[in-house]
Amino acid sequence: MDINALHSLVTGAIWRAEQLDELGLETAASAWQEVSKLEEEIAKALPVKDAEGRIARRGAVHAALKANDYIRAEKLVSNYLAERGAPKTHCATLRKILKADVIVLSEEFPFAAKYYKPDDVQTLADQLQKSGPFLLAA
Amino acid sequence: METIAFYSYKGGVGRSLLVANAARFLGMLGKKVVALDLDFEAPGLHYKLGRAPDAEGKPAMSGGAVPYLVATAKGARNPPPLKEHIVALALPEGAGGALWLMPAGPAPRREYWIALKHLRERLHFDDPSGKGLAVLLDLHARIQDELKPDYLLIDARTGVTELGGLATTALANCVVCLFVPNQESVDGTLAIVGALKAKTPARLPGLHPARIVPVVARAMADIGSEGRTADAIKRLMKICEGQGTGGKSGLKPFLLPHDSVLGANDKVVGGDQKASAFSPLHKAYLELFQHLFPQARKKAEEALLRARLSKAALGLPGAEPEG
């Protein structure tokens, strides 16, 4: 697809996702997934050396987190960090985006934050995702 | 706050009834207790603790753990008041303690199943971002901070589920594992206990490995000492490191005998001085509670002694729950 058409689609998708988010509707998450996928398509079309290409990569990760799809966000970051020629500042920003999600976790859940470190909570959640309840599938 | 999760690999073992009795027992011994129903797919703790819907089906309360978790699924910066979701239950005069119930919600009303559907859509406890888990940990921490109970007793979901797993691994200091003495139930329990006692269990740093107390439920007679099931129970007791009866070796699990009065009618004992019979199940409860709640051991011993000396003991089968 033409890059201009993708830009136009992603602009519309972001507007829609933001509106749904504001209304607190369940469909906001799937709207953000759509944004993430469109940004990913733009990122595929533009090299990482290109400033717009880097913005698209960050946008894809941001939108995946907004969609509460941490696995996708992590996977995208891992792929983008492995890209040849990725500037160091770009890599640091991508890592920060994931890290910012951890900070949000402690702000959103103040009672839990008194007793648990967000990193530990994420590690356990990740273990459970990979190995199932009681880690029986480990 | 000590958190005790009551878990069973298979259902129908009298788990909720045990939670209700333990909660009431502790309340009567002057302890502050919260009973939390995390058995979202088949909630019933509110029935056992006298908060069943009325004759027209109107629920005793509209709040509970499911509506609370739905309300905080996206963050708990402005959480709803806890009192909308937790109810204080009456204890006999002079009991000295406090007993709160956080039911799963107004089950089996339609609004409960709608709330549960919303919860499943909004919250995944194994979401690797940690948000699903944080919602549950936040509730646990809030109960600890605001109600300051001595004990939180959790009625955990049967089988292998995310929530059942988290109740036993991420929240509890102690897990009471109920099973019936048949191969299926014992084998499943062995798998779970093995996972709870694994070298790298699913636990958060700082939380000590849970004490696991195996309990044989609905026992019709002696469970025997030979055969495949008996061997599996021996293995279970070995893993649980002496958390049973039989002196220091602790090789025998606690036995809760089948009780047609208490079991079939889901009665809660405690607080009633009028009944004239002393149920074997009630006696077994007291023995188990002595082991489970070391802080309350002395009072439990006194209660047991009174029960042995006189059949007009504290709380007897047939007593209607209060509240």
Q: Which residues of B274-305 are buried (b: 16+ CB within 10 A; e: fewer)?
A: ebeebbbbbebbbbbbbbbbeebeebbeebbe
Interchain pair A128, B205: CB under 8 A: no
pLDDT grade for B311, boundaries at 50, 70 and 90: very low
Interchain pair B129, A129: CB under 8 A: no
User: Tell me, what's the pLDDT at A63?
Assistant: 95
pLDDT grade for B265, boundaries at 50, 70 and 90: low
> In a 3-state reduction of DSSP, which class is residue B120?
helix
**Residues in contact with B58: Cβ distance below 8 Å, sequence separation at least 6, in sequence order:** none
State how far the Cα of B193 lies from the Cα of B203, in Å rounded to an integer. 14
Of B68, B37, B207, which is closest to residue B142 (Cα–Cα)? B68
Q: What is the ipTM of this complex?
A: 0.82
Of B323, B266, B312, which is closest to residue B18 (Cα–Cα)? B266
Tokens standing for residue A10: 């992603």
Based on DSSP, count helices (H) and strands (E) in chain B, helices before strands: 11, 8
Interchain pair A133, B165: CB under 8 A: yes
CA distance A128 to chain B (A): 6
Averaged pLDDT score across all residues of chain A: 90
Interchain pair B130, A124: CB under 8 A: yes
User: Tell me, what's the pLDDT at B191?
Assistant: 92
User: Tell me, what's the pLDDT at B134?
Assistant: 92
CA distance A108 to chain B (A): 5
Q: Which has the higher per-residue pLDDT, B175 or B284?
A: B175
Mean pLDDT within B12-16: 91
Interchain pair B126, A125: CB under 8 A: yes
Q: A15 — contact with chain B (CB < 8 Å)?
A: no
User: Tell me, what's the pLDDT at B273?
Assistant: 41
Averaged pLDDT score across all residues of chain B: 83
State how far the Cα of A75 lies from the Cα of A55, in Å rounded to an integer. 17
Model confidence pLDDT, tens digit, residues A48-99: 999 999 999 999 999 998 887 777 888 999 999 999 999 999 999 999 888 7
pTM above 0.90, yes or no: no
Interchain pair B165, A134: CB under 8 A: yes
For B100, phi then psi, to 5°, come to -115, 150
Amino acid sitting at position A18 = E
pLDDT at A104 over 80: no
pLDDT at B224 over 50: yes
User: Tell me, what's the pLDDT at B274?
Assistant: 38
Model confidence pLDDT, tens digit, residues B100-133: 999 999 999 999 999 999 999 888 888 878 889 9
State how far the Cα of B247 lies from the Cα of B270, in Å rounded to an integer. 27
Interchain pair B129, A125: CB under 8 A: yes
User: Tell me, what's the pLDDT at B303?
Assistant: 65
pLDDT at B95 over 90: no
CA distance A87 to chain B (A): 26
Contacts of B164 in chain A (CB under 8 A): 133
Interchain pair A68, B200: CB under 8 A: no
Q: A108 — contact with chain B (CB < 8 Å)?
A: yes
Model confidence pLDDT, tens digit, residues B269-307: 654 443 334 678 888 888 888 888 877 777 766 766 665
Contacts of A78 in chain B (CB under 8 A): none
Q: A115 — contact with chain B (CB < 8 Å)?
A: yes
Contacts of A70 in chain B (CB under 8 A): 127-130
Of B16, B264, B306, B33, which is closest to residue B147 (Cα–Cα)? B33
User: Tell me, what's the pLDDT at B262?
Assistant: 61
User: Tell me, what's the pLDDT at B304?
Assistant: 61
User: Tell me, what's the pLDDT at B247?
Assistant: 60
User: Tell me, what's the pLDDT at B270?
Assistant: 53
Tokens standing for residue B103: 């039911």
Model confidence pLDDT, tens digit, residues A5-58: 999 999 999 999 999 988 878 788 899 999 999 999 999 999 999 999 999 999
Closest-CA residue of chain A to B142: A111
Tokens standing for residue A106: 């402690």
User: Tell me, what's the pLDDT at B252?
Assistant: 78
State how far the Cα of A7 lies from the Cα of A39, in Å rounded to an integer. 8
Work out the number of other CB atoms within 10 angstroms of the CB of residue B272: 19
User: Tell me, what's the pLDDT at A123?
Assistant: 86
CB-neighbour burial class of residue B264 (10 A; exposed 0-12, middle 13-18, buried 19+): exposed
Tokens standing for residue B191: 């798998």
pLDDT at B28 over 60: yes
Mean pLDDT within B261-272: 57
